[in-house]
Amino acid sequence: MSKQVLYTHGAPPPGRPPLSAIIEQWLNPHQHRDACSTGGAADAMRPVVRQLLDDPVLFQDLLLVKRRGHKEFPWHQDFGFWPVDRPDGIVLWIPLDESDAESGALRFAIGSHRLGARPVVDLHDGQPQSADAELGFSPGAFPIFAPAYRAGDAVAFSPLTFHSSPPRLRDGERIAWSCVFLSATVRWQHARAPNHPVCRRTVDGAKIQERRDG
């Protein structure tokens, strides 16, 4: 399980709780070789993604478990957390359980991708990770899309779309699987998020490639 929010350029500020204060997250289960691998699920989504993106490359996937007591997962764009040069891709979010506002379903600020890349957020407080940065986003300025999902529904969105999930008000848990496909023309750009684990095993400036070595 991931221990902490990704602080893209430095150590967590003092006193930050673990990531499990807002969600339980597992990074890249598609890279497992055993029965719990999500690699087959990612492959099954590829034809769908090809309708939206030429030549998709699987960049990463996440299992996301939200329980009662987890705080709001604040509004953010995903692109700022990634060490890549362009936001050319598609994020899929797929709840494995029925999910609505009371159970912590993902919601979106429609049209917010048009803001372009905004500063990366500290997921514990929704503020920019860099103290002198201005987020330049307010959810009140956009129509909000907050669907009630059936188990297995999929929603696709831009890496620049601001999204969040409210606290879970019900007992039990909401499990979701999320995967990110990027265009094969995207390149690693480590300086954008040097603390992302993928920087330790990729060549800065090279075209992104998939990796399935467990």
As given in the structure block, the two tokens for residue 50 are 């090809």
Closest contact distance (angstroms) between CB of 81 and ligand AKG is: 8
* Interface stretch with ligand AKG, choices 4-12, 44-52, 60-68, 189-197 (CB under 6 A): 60-68
Is the sign of the CA dihedral 95, 173, 196, 161 positive or negative?
A: positive
Residues 145-204 touching ligand AKG, rule: CB under 6 A, are 163, 165, 176, 178
**Residue 141 three-state SS:** helix
Pairs from 38-46 (Cβ < 8 Å, separation ≥ 24): 38/63, 38/177, 38/179, 39/212, 41/177, 41/179, 42/179, 45/92, 45/154, 45/179, 45/181, 46/181
Q: Nearest-5° angle of CA 67, CA 168, CA 106?
A: 105
Residues 67-126 touching ligand AKG, rule: CB under 6 A, are 73, 78, 104, 106
Q: Which is nearer to ligand AKG, 176 or 208 (CB)?
A: 176
Q: Which is nearer to ligand AKG, 62 or 186 (CB)?
A: 62
Q: Is 62 in the site for ligand AKG (CB under 6 A)?
A: yes
How far are the Cα atoms of 33, 64, 127 from residue 61, in angstroms, in the given order?
14, 10, 24
Closest contact distance (angstroms) between CB of 34 and ligand AKG is: 23
Among the listed residues 30, 66, 113, 192, the single contact to ligand AKG using CB under 6 A: 66
Rounded to whole angstroms, the Cα distance separating 84 from 81 reads 9
The residue sitting closest to ligand AKG, measured at its beta carbon, is 165
Closest contact distance (angstroms) between CB of 173 and ligand AKG is: 11
Where along the sequence are the contacts to ligand AKG (CB under 6 A)? 23, 62, 64, 66, 73, 78, 104, 106, 163, 165, 176, 178
